[in-house]
A and B are shown apart, each in its own frame.
Chain A
Amino acid sequence: MEVSAIDNSFLKHGTKYKGILGWLTSTDHKRIGLMYMYAIMIFFVVGGLLGGLMRLELFRPGQDIMTAQTYNAVFTVHGVIMIFLVVIPGLAAVFGNILMPIMIGARDVSFPKLNLFSFYIYVIGAILAILSQFLGKGAPDTGWTFYAPYSTDTNTNVVAAVLAAFVLGFSSILTGLNFIVTIHRLRAPGMTWFKMPLFPWSLYATAWIQLLATPIVGITLLMIIAERWFKIGFFDPNLGGDPILFQHLFWIYSHPAVYIMILPAMGVITEIIPTFSQKKVFGYKAIVFSSVAIAAVGYLVWGHHMYTAGMSTTARWFFSLLTFIVAVPSAIKVFNWISTMYKGSINLKPPFYFTMAFVFNFMIGGLTGLVLGSLATDIHVHDTAFVVAHFHYIIFGGMGFAFLAAIHYWFPKIYGRMYNNKLANTSCAFIFGGFTLLYFPQFIIGMQGMPRRYFDYLPQYEWGQVFSFFGAIVLAIGVIIMLFNLFKSARKGEIAGPNPWGGKTLEWTIASPPTVENFEEIPVITQGPYEYK
């Protein structure tokens, strides 16, 4: 691919094969990470285009460019692609793979072949997800949540989509397993648990969620297939099943899944802020423990998705209470980030701008999460555009911006070249502005009663949809500028040198791009990861 500055860089040398085959057969964690990145970028663009189509349909009340049925299919596919193909693997599979082994001083993950295998399972899942659009009797129209009994009744091609989610879950489990073992076994000598950088820590907590939560949704998805094929009746009340049970099983996974998305994002942010403030991270242990606490307590709050589904009152207030408790460790992190910046010598470069956008969005997303977590207010805004705004603030505004921050932070490390700072800042401004214009109005019209997942609406919500539409356009322009900048710089950018930001973690001590073996000699660790001045 790109010609790099260094002779034995991983970009040049992979396996005994050359060219594309050298990538597809490589067990090098960095190459696998990059393959995930290219795949995920493609899916992100596809999912984004579908989102754009929805915004176009909603631009005016009434039917404009698609029928209601098509709209249902489009939001389902949009959701499935974004959730299962983009954000769940996102940071862990891309930056976890490329950087985690380096940051703990290892030459690779514990099971390099399994790592490549996970990538291929991901590809198979992706192919299935795409095929689900074309096979059978039409694209699935259930929404990404596959709620029963509709998902067991509809004639559309649900089985392929559900199977895709199952297969992707399998890939996620294997990646998590690999990371746990790697972090246990391959930390460099002297790197005790509390001398480990915080991004690997966040991946470690995430990996446990992947391992412990994913099987539950896996079996639930298989039950849907069994019910469709054999009329077993797990969830369909007509066959004696219980649809609420489906929701429980689904959210037992899918709430923790939101932490699979957000914990690595918090980890990325926790790397960037100390580097760009040139200050030791404030409250290292508090950050570690809050990650672990989020991972642990995050299991217990799934019921806040079901306040209106017919649970007992006791269960509802209990879940509401727990939801408030799980917000505390997230708040601890924000506090630690701000404290780390306090009196730091701040270097205003693109990764830092993306990071600030993350913190801002995440705070709005988190606070509106509390609105949804409170029983009384949730009843009012449940299944409205307010929920859409909330989770886009968390997922896109949070995880998405963290991903962009990560690309801009580690880009010089991965490619050995630097991008154009001005263009990067411009793209950040467009993406952030577009994002805000796109999603903030949804909070307001949501509170006014605009329902979620409707392809038509009353005229009083039109102003919000119009704002959102233009927001989407600004956002798209920003993404295009960014992609242009990055792709061009990967090949032609200035040579970056090993440590352009003055970082202290291990990846900045080796060549850019890293060599195939990462380290000539495995380093011996004697101090913590963030020893600035």
Chain B
Amino acid sequence: MENKISHTEHRDDTASKMGMWLFIFTELLLFGGLFIVYAVYRSKYSEDFHVAANQLNTFVGTINTIILLVSSMTVAMSVTALRTGNKSLTLKLLATTIFFAFLFLVNKYFEWGLKIDHHLYPGSELMLTLKRGELLFFGLYYFMTGLHALHIIVGMILLIVIYRKVQNGRLTKDDNALLENGGLYWHLVDLIWIFLFPLLYLIS
């Protein structure tokens, strides 16, 4: 009898997509705060920013941009694949996306590692001897890319959960809202990087 009265949930795919869009909005605003800070300090210390930005490795940044763009594509393809009911293709595409995400992190690891080897990291002695604008630039660099990497990790976990669900048949052609939302989230992660990349690596 307890069970009979207990609460039931109903499914509403439009609602869950709407929820995801709103969430993405707030994520953009979260980074928006950082962009404001970046803009303020860039205009205040444009010379120092210029000098500091030159020390970032544009090559690694470009590779990572390509990786994310491709992974955005594969995740979009996996959504379509699931819609047509092609389970094995969906799984393959999801696995590829997750692999790219991992590759991105590996790249990031080497990029950060190299900087840290050169004693360029927040709180280091070397940092404190830099000019104010350069210090702020590197601070922002670590903070923004770090926060972004955190989002990559969250996205990866989400995609892995989705992978498992597709695998054991709990996400299907007719019930694919979660995959669509996961895809949206991944596009967001990609989009933010598209903003970060020119701001940090290219404008100098």
Q: In this assembly, does B168 line the interface, its C-beta being within 8 Å of a C-beta of chain A?
A: no
Q: A211-B25, A231-B122, A241-B136 are in contact. Are A226 and B143 (CB under 8 A)?
A: yes
Contact in complex: A214, B40 (CB < 8 Å): no
Docked CA distance A28–B6 (Å): 9
Tally chain A residues at the interface, Cβ within 8 Å: 50
Contact of B7 among A28, A215, A239 (CB under 8 A): A28
Q: A215-B26, A219-B33, A231-B128 are in contact. Are A112 and B136 (CB under 8 A)?
A: no
Q: Decide if the interface of chain B is mainly helix, strand, loop or mixed.
A: helix
Near B by CB (< 8 A), chain A positions 151-184 give 173, 177-178, 180-182, 184
Q: Which chain A residue shows the least CB distance to B34?
A: A219
Q: In this assembly, does A249 line the interface, its C-beta being within 8 Å of a C-beta of chain B?
A: yes
Docked CA distance A218–B31 (Å): 10
Q: In this assembly, does B32 line the interface, its C-beta being within 8 Å of a C-beta of chain A?
A: yes
Q: In this assembly, does B66 line the interface, its C-beta being within 8 Å of a C-beta of chain A?
A: no
Contact of B37 among A16, A214, A234 (CB under 8 A): A234
Q: A14-B7, A185-B14, A230-B122 are in contact. Are A219 and B30 (CB under 8 A)?
A: yes
Contact in complex: B36, A215 (CB < 8 Å): no
Q: A181-B18, A185-B15 are in contact. Are A215 and B30 (CB under 8 A)?
A: yes
Q: Which chain A residue shows the least CB distance to B131?
A: A240
Q: Which chain A residue shows the least CB distance to B134?
A: A240
Q: Which chain A residue shows the least CB distance to B9?
A: A112
Q: A16-B3, A516-B7 are in contact. Are A231 and B37 (CB under 8 A)?
A: no
Contact with A along B141-153 (1 / 0, CB 8 A): 0110001000000
Q: A16-B2, A249-B33 are in contact. Are A177 and B23 (CB under 8 A)?
A: yes
Most chain A CB neighbours (cut-off 10 Å) among B33, B44, B122:
B33
Q: B residues within 8 A CB of A60?
A: none
Q: In this assembly, does B5 line the interface, its C-beta being within 8 Å of a C-beta of chain A?
A: yes
Contact in complex: B136, A516 (CB < 8 Å): no
Q: In this assembly, does B154 line the interface, its C-beta being within 8 Å of a C-beta of chain A?
A: no
Contact of B139 among A27, A222, A230 (CB under 8 A): A230
Q: B residues within 8 A CB of A219?
A: 30-31, 33-34
Docked CA distance A214–B22 (Å): 13
Q: Decide if the interface of chain A is mainly helix, strand, loop or mixed.
A: helix
Docked CA distance A177–B25 (Å): 10
Docked CA distance A28–B143 (Å): 39
Q: B residues within 8 A CB of A181?
A: 15, 18-19, 22
Q: B residues within 8 A CB of A111?
A: 15-16, 19
Contact in complex: A231, B5 (CB < 8 Å): no
Q: In this assembly, does A286 line the interface, its C-beta being within 8 Å of a C-beta of chain B?
A: no
Q: A211-B22, A240-B133 are in contact. Are A108 and B122 (CB under 8 A)?
A: no
Contact in complex: B2, A13 (CB < 8 Å): yes
Contact in complex: A229, B15 (CB < 8 Å): no
Q: Which chain B residue shows the least CB distance to A29?
A: B7
Q: A residues within 8 A CB of B117?
A: none
Q: In this assembly, does A232 line the interface, its C-beta being within 8 Å of a C-beta of chain B?
A: yes
Contact in complex: A214, B19 (CB < 8 Å): no
Docked CA distance A218–B8 (Å): 34
Most chain B CB neighbours (cut-off 10 Å) among A114, A212, A233:
A233
Q: A residues within 8 A CB of B133?
A: 240
Q: In this assembly, does B169 line the interface, its C-beta being within 8 Å of a C-beta of chain A?
A: no
Q: In this assembly, does B156 line the interface, its C-beta being within 8 Å of a C-beta of chain A?
A: no
| A167 to B: closest C-beta gap in Å | 14
Q: In this assembly, does A15 line the interface, its C-beta being within 8 Å of a C-beta of chain B?
A: yes
| A248 to B: closest C-beta gap in Å | 8
Docked CA distance A223–B45 (Å): 19
Docked CA distance A239–B134 (Å): 11
Docked CA distance A382–B180 (Å): 51
Docked CA distance A184–B133 (Å): 46
Q: Which residues of B contact A (CB under 8 A)?
A: 2-3, 5-10, 12, 14-16, 18-19, 22-23, 25-27, 29-34, 36-37, 40-41, 44-45, 121-123, 127-128, 132-133, 135-136, 139-140, 142-143, 147
Q: Which residues of A contact B (CB under 8 A)?
A: 8, 13-16, 18, 26-28, 107-108, 110-114, 173, 177-178, 180-182, 184-186, 211-212, 214-216, 218-220, 222-223, 226, 229-234, 239-242, 245, 249, 516-517
A-B contact pairs, 8 of them (CB 8 A): A14-B7, A26-B7, A27-B7, A184-B15, A215-B32, A220-B33, A223-B37, A223-B143
**16 more A-B contacts (CB under 8 A) besides A226-B139, A232-B122?**
A110-B12, A177-B23, A181-B15, A211-B26, A216-B29, A218-B30, A226-B143, A230-B123, A231-B122, A232-B135, A232-B143, A233-B132, A242-B40, A242-B44, A249-B36, A516-B7
